[in-house]
Structures are given as C-alpha cells and as structure tokens.
C-alpha cells in the first residue's frame, strides 16, 4: 500500500477480542507486516489482537474471503471471534443478505448463521487431534501429553481448529500463571510453528472458565478457536458435555460439538467500536 491516501478501517470486537477490519475487495493489496505492526501498536497506532482483511472470495458459494494477521505481523490460520466480526461487517455492508451465508477462511469454508442482536453462529469445522495437524512432534496421538515448561511439567491436550491449540486444565483459571506458562509451552521445540495455549477450569459439565495465550498476540480477552479447542479436548477427556458455555475475560461464548464426526459450532456476540483512517506515512 502506497503512502498518501489514508487507510480506512473499522474497529470491532467479539467478546473483547479486538480487531481492525480492512476492506480489500476489488484487488486492493494486502497490508505488509510493517503496516500490520503499525496499526496494531496500542500506543502509536490503533491497537488490535488481530487484523482482518475482507477480500473477494476464492471458494465457490462464499460471499467473501478473509485473512488474519496478528499484532506482530504474522499470519494466523483461524480466528472464531474475528470470523463473527467479518460476518457482521459484511451484513452491515449489504454483501451478505439473509440469515445464512458462507465465508472463505484461511482454514476452509465456514457456514454462518445470523442470530440477531449482533450474535452469530459459526460452524468451525472438525477438530483434528492428530499431532501432525498442529503440528506437534509426538511419538503417537494421545488424549493428553506432558512437557516441561515454566519450571514444571504441564499436562495438556492438543488439537487443531485450523490453528494449533494446547489446552491445560487448571484448578483456577483466574489464578493461572498465563504470562509465564503460556509463552514457555508456546516456545517448546515440539511445537515447530508455535501454539495457542488455553488454561481451562471446569466449573460444571456445561460451563468452563478459560484464558488463552495466543501466538503473535499474547493473552487476549477472548479466543473463539481457543474456546472450541478447549471444549473439544475436555469432551475427549470426559470432563464436560457437548454443549458448553465458555466464560472468557471479555465475555461468554456458546460451544456445541454434537458428535465426534460433526463440526464444532460457536455462537457469540460482535460489536462495532468506531470507523477511522490511518495515515500511511506513519509506516516506515
């Protein structure tokens, strides 16, 4: 993107997980990693957990394609809260009329259902537990793994929701040492592409508390794919049922996994915060 004309954007959030949304339809160029970092800086830019680009669809039957960049400029494979915000943005724009439509995501096609009052339901696909899907270097697939991290041995489940997740069950999510254990597990060589680390507390068979340390963003107020991952891992471990409310610091998401061979469905809120323009001459 050349300097000169300011870059128009929308600021949005889903359960506190915040985004800058760029309309790049019509072949507009992708933002560089440097521009993503400049926009993502919470002191000198706009600030976000992830940047979302809305583009012309590639997959048949989709109203738009979206891609995801983290605040450090790296690419992400999926973002459930972001996908809901993309859906809301497209409906406000008039590009997604009706209550049901499809989005072309980095992890494949997503079915979207508008629920009203800014809430959307997304079919997030099948969880993939094979270590190669994350990837995770492990001798065999297991319900739980153990690795040394942060001065202790962490027991965790692992799953891909289009991006890699490790889920650690803890007795108290609010007291979990996310700032130490999250980056420590994320940096393990067994995760060659890094990993999102969730710290889940089981409150009841249909309710958990969750905090997530994300790749390229650090701890966020909410993580949609992380909520799906936590439920998938805990269902597999026999710790929760198949319909679970996930309480994150920024709000609550509703996760349903009807059967092992069915996609996980996530429902939750979206919100528009403001519209703005960013001066491109600020980018080196």
Instruction: Show which residues are catalytic.
Output: 79, 223
Q: In the chain, what is the straight-line distance between the N-terminal and C-terminal CA atoms, in Å? A: 12
> Token match 């997604």: residue?
96
Asked whether the CA dihedral 176, 167, 251, 14 is positive or negative, the reply is positive
Asked whether the CA dihedral 31, 35, 40, 46 is positive or negative, the reply is negative
Three-state secondary structure readout of 208-238: EEEEEEECCCEEECCCHHHHHHHHHHHHHCC
Q: How far apart are CA 107 and CA 78, in angstroms?
A: 6
User: Is 73 labelled as part of a ligand binding site?
Assistant: no
User: Is 225 labelled as part of a ligand binding site?
Assistant: yes
Q: How far apart are CA 96 and CA 30, in angstroms?
A: 22
User: Is 215 labelled as part of a ligand binding site?
Assistant: yes
User: Is 81 labelled as part of a ligand binding site?
Assistant: yes
76: CB partners within 8 A, 6+ apart: 50, 68, 69, 70, 106, 163, 215, 216
User: Is 65 labelled as part of a ligand binding site?
Assistant: no
User: Is 80 labelled as part of a ligand binding site?
Assistant: yes
User: Is 254 labelled as part of a ligand binding site?
Assistant: no
User: Is 70 labelled as part of a ligand binding site?
Assistant: yes
User: Is 214 labelled as part of a ligand binding site?
Assistant: yes
Annotated binding site for substrate: 17, 50, 70, 80-81, 163, 196, 214-215, 224-225
Annotated binding site: 17, 50, 70, 80-81, 163, 196, 214-215, 224-225
């Amino acid at each position: 993107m050349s300097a000169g004309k300011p870059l128009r954007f929308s600021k949005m959030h889903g359960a506190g997980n915040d985004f800058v949304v760029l309309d790049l339809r019509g072949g507009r160029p992708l933002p560089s990693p440097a521009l993503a970092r400049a926009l993502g800086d919470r002191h000198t830019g706009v600030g976000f957990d992830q940047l979302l680009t809305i583009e012309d669809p590639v997959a048949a039957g989709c109203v738009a394609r979206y891609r995801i960049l983290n605040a450090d400029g790296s690419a992400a494979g999926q973002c459930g809260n972001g996908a809901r915000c993309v859906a809301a943005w497209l409906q406000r724009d008039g590009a997604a009329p009706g209550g049901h439509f499809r989005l072309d995501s980095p992890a494949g096609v997503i079915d979207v259902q508008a629920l009203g009052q800014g809430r959307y339901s997304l079919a997030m696909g099948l969880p993939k537990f094979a270590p190669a899907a994350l990837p995770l270097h492990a001798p065999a697939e297991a319900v739980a793994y153990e690795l040394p991290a942060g001065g202790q041995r962490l027991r965790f489940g692992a799953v891909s929701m289009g991006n890699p997740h490790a889920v650690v069950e803890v007795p108290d999510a609010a007291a979990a040492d996310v700032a130490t254990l999250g980056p420590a597990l994320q940096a393990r060589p067994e995760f060659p592409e890094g990993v999102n680390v969730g710290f889940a507390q089981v409150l009841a068979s249909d309710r958990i508390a969750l905090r997530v340390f994300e790749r390229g963003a650090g701890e966020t107020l909410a993580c949609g794919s992380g909520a799906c991952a936590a439920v998938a891992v805990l269902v597999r471990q026999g710790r929760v049922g198949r319909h679970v409310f996930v309480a994150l610091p920024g709000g609550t998401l509703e996760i349903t996994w009807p059967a092992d061979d069915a996609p996980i469905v996530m429902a939750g809120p979206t919100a528009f915060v403001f519209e703005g323009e960013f001066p491109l001459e600020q980018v080196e």
